[in-house]
Amino acid sequence: MKVNWRNPRIHPENRVKVWLACDEHSQYLGDYLASRSFPVIVTKLSENVSVVPS
């Protein structure tokens, strides 16, 4: 799985950071980032994300 995210205070919507994670930990990492008010999209490894909206 891919955890696609960005820090909205310093990055525009088209700046996507990616963390790779196994199925077991991808939800935990997504929740971790979301709890800090970072926009997050968790996708399959084969899916590409070009924008992470607020």
- Please write the tens of the pLDDT for every residue from 2-22: 999 999 999 999 999 999 999
Long-range contacts of 50-53 (CB under 8 A, 24+ apart): 50/14, 50/16, 51/13, 51/14, 51/16, 52/4, 52/5, 52/6, 52/13, 52/16, 53/13
User: Is the distance from CB of 40 to CB of 52 less than 8 angstroms?
Assistant: yes
With a cut of 90, say whether residue 24 has pLDDT above it. yes
DSSP code, position 4: E
Share of the chain above pLDDT 90, in %: 98
Strand, helix or coil at 2? strand
Strand, helix or coil at 47? coil
